[in-house]
Amino acid sequence: MIEREQLFQDMMRSIARYAPYADESRIRKAFALADKRHASQVRRSGEPYIIHPVAVAEIVAEMGLDTDAIVASLLHDCLEDTATSYDEIATEFGTAVAQMVEGVTKLTRVQYSSLEEQQMENLRKMFMAMSKDIRVILIKIADRLHNMRTMQYQKPEKQVSKSMETMEIYAPLAHRLGMQKIKWELEDRALQYLDPTAYKDILDFLEQHHDEAEAFMNEIQDTLRERMQTVGIQSSIYGRIKHIYSIYRKMKAQHKSMDELYDLYAFRVVVDTIPDCYNVLGHIHDLYHLVPGRFKDYISTPKPNMYQSLHTTVIGKRGIPFEVQIRTWDMHQTAEYGVAAHWKYKDGISSNKDNNEKEFEWVRRLLESQQDTEAEDYIHSLKVDMFDDEVFVFTPRGKVISLPAGSTPIDFAYAVHSAVGNSMVGAKVNNRIAGYDWTLNNGDVVEILTSKSAKGPSRDWLNICKSNQARIKIKQWFKKEKREENVARGKASMEGELRRLNLNPSILQEEETRNIILKKLAFDELEDLFAAVGYGGMTAFKAVNRIKDEILRLHKAQPQQAENIPLKFPAEQTQPKHRSFAASGVIVEDIPTCMVKFSRCCTPVPGDDIVGFITKGYGVSVHRKDCVNAQGMDDPNQSGRWVKVSWASDGGAFSTSLEILSLNRDGLVMDLATAMTALKVKVTELSSRALNDGTAITNLTFQVSDVGELEAVKSRLRAIQGVTDIHRGHGA
């Protein structure tokens, strides 16, 4: 039976070493409550449960955290394991403590059933996102450290699974937070269960060579100390053997045995000032032979986790290489305790606001060095919310899905698979039925209810979902699945096009005509053609254009009438049969009124340099000056037919096309389409074909008002991954 008062006094003594300002009466109150609530529980070691929260509180104090964090550490398992409520903790100890305890509890509830490599980063990010207050994650790391220290009492399966989590989640987090000492201990303790044989081999080797190592380290330390005294530099010198996991990793990476391993030893010289650091470096290089290429100056260039030191590797008299790290006491604190060493709201020390923001700016950078988000609004209080634009949730099988913040079950369903989204009939969040517009939170477990008889997405979903992925997939569904609607729409457009050619739409029902159309356009059924036109896979204009010659021949209509129609406008608009120069957007010099049409070969748009060619009977055809067909200007036989033309000020929409060369990759067409949608540019045709060499050519026809807009489109498309070249199209 442990004497409680003794336990409390021992804890207070160790807390006081690191947190002299800690509020003893609040800590005593928390200790008493935790002890009372956990009274019926014992640790697997057989000890009373209170041993665990006390140990966690001591680690947290050692990290340098404040009274609130120490109190929260004592209570950290109360919400989960006992009949204690959030409100009770909030009333007794304040909301800051209650929120921390709740945060730790949430992290405890996270299940790691899927430990695939790619999941790890997401899980680590989720941890960060869930621990709005960074003290939460520090308490959680302390909790894990104590559990790893007492892991020998657990069953073998649990030893392995907890060690995996430790290696994959907690040690990297400790590293990212700059907490070297804790990281090392977590790694060594995890390795002990993950590769017991290797762990034991290394341990045995180190034990066998213990005396040797000791003698070697003493010799080096004595030499260094003597030199420091001679030159009058105040310093503390420590020698150590590198931690077991780092030896293990080096052996694996370099395929070497223990005795072949390069530098097992590390020495640390801690001094008062930065100039002293460089002085010490000079003396070490004077005493020992330097190993080239191993000197690193992390003082002038700190590591991303703020670690600072000078590193050098030298060879001692016996030919044994060893590393020396030289740093100031401040740097030493940072190296040992990382983010916690920079914790400025220690009790009794009023924190300076500006200073605090700087600290948290640092925390932010350290936690997520890859993400280049704007810094300013992120850290205004004692919160870490760099992942505010993302939310991390689980599938029922434990896979982590990352979604834009504010996402709903619809986004989740489409992120899992479009088939899941399309057959969704409801959703459960944390085992409770949730509406389609439910906002997902970090750590939620989301289950999508599906049915084979589901009617598919509703158009409302487009307004509810937050992710582009879901939006695109829902739109795709409407294209593909709404066949009847598409067929009807496509049929109407085709008929409209035919009417424009003065043809009776009923010719579509004539067998001969139908066969020509299907053959030319490569469709099996007329309905398939209509569907393609209906969802925008092909414009009715384009379709009719390709078949009109043969149909006109068959039906003996007047081709002139058809040719006179300006080619720039798509089918849906009803067009006058001829247009004056003003309406066409082009002024033809010396010819006040004439018919104008835009050449199909170079699809000019306002801003392009253009010339006109007087055709035989169809007015003036406008080409870009650089069009191959305009090179005939120099032909003396034709020179009289070329006229100067210019753009009228008010243009309207002009159809043009681009040829896009790219790598042939999945999703390219979708990315192109998305870009065009984002630019609000109306696309009339988008077709892509793969070439044998792994590249693809995409023809994109769309409407712009001028060359400026065209350039904007081009530069946006050029930014798309895999696009290698873009140039103006040369017509179909």
Contact footprint for Mn ion (CB under 5 A)? 77, 143
* 34 or 367: CB nearest Mn ion: 34
Catalytic residue among 24, 80, 212, 389: 80
Per the annotation, the verdict on 512 as an active-site residue is no
From the centroid of its chain, how far is CA 265? Answer: 39
Residue 546 identity: R
Q: How far is the CB of 394 from Mn ion (least distance, A)?
A: 21
Q: How far is the CB of 714 from Mn ion (least distance, A)?
A: 58
Task: Select the residue whose beta carbon is closest to Mn ion and give its number.
Answer: 143
The rounded distance, in Å, linking the Cα atoms of 391 and 402 is: 6
Q: How far is the CB of 395 from Mn ion (least distance, A)?
A: 26
Instruction: Please list, in sequence order, all residues whose beta carbon lies within 8 angstroms of the beta carbon of residue 125, skipping any fewer than 6 positions away.
Output: 368, 387, 390, 392, 402
The rounded distance, in Å, linking the Cα atoms of 712 and 326 is: 54
Catalytic residue among 23, 62, 68, 81: 81
* 77 or 276: CB nearest Mn ion: 77
- The distance in angstroms from the start CA to the end CA of the chain is 90
* 82 or 442: CB nearest Mn ion: 82
Q: How far is the CB of 222 from Mn ion (least distance, A)?
A: 44
Structure-token match 């085709």, residue found: 494
**Phi, psi dihedrals of residue 235, rounded to the nearest 5°:** -155, 155
Q: How far is the CB of 104 from Mn ion (least distance, A)?
A: 8
The rounded distance, in Å, linking the Cα atoms of 28 and 34 is: 10
546: part of which helix (H) or strand (E)?
helix 540-555
Structure-token match 């030199």, residue found: 227
Is-contact 433 408, C-beta < 8 A? Answer: no
- How would DSSP label each residue in 119-160? HHHHHHHHHHHH-SSHHHHHHHHHHHHHHHHTGGGS-HHHHH
Per the annotation, the verdict on 497 as an active-site residue is no
* 145 or 233: CB nearest Mn ion: 145
Count Cβ atoms within 10 A of the Cβ of residue 77 and give its class: 0-12 exposed, 13-18 middle, 19 or more buried: buried
* 143 or 168: CB nearest Mn ion: 143
The rounded distance, in Å, linking the Cα atoms of 85 and 102 is: 10
Instruction: Please list, in sequence order, all residues whose beta carbon lies within 8 angstroms of the beta carbon of residue 537, skipping any fewer than 6 positions away.
Output: 479
Q: How far is the CB of 151 from Mn ion (least distance, A)?
A: 13
Long-range pairs for 91-100: beta carbons < 8 A, 24 or more residues apart: 92/29, 92/33, 93/26, 93/29, 93/30, 93/68, 94/68, 96/68, 96/133, 97/68, 97/71, 97/72, 99/133, 100/68, 100/69, 100/72, 100/133, 100/135, 100/136, 100/139
| Vertex 533 angle, CA 528 and 536, to 5° | 125
* 155 or 556: CB nearest Mn ion: 155
* 66 or 143: CB nearest Mn ion: 143
Q: How far is the CB of 77 from Mn ion (least distance, A)?
A: 5
* 68 or 77: CB nearest Mn ion: 77
What are the beta bridge partners of residue 643? 612
Q: How far is the CB of 269 from Mn ion (least distance, A)?
A: 38
Q: How far is the CB of 98 from Mn ion (least distance, A)?
A: 17
* 77 or 495: CB nearest Mn ion: 77
Instruction: Please list, in sequence order, all residues whose beta carbon lies within 8 angstroms of the beta carbon of residue 721, skipping any fewer than 6 positions away.
Output: 665, 671
Tell me which residue of 659, 622, 669, 662 sits closest to 642, measured CA to CA. 622
Rg, C-alpha atoms of the chain = 37
Positions marked catalytic: 80-81
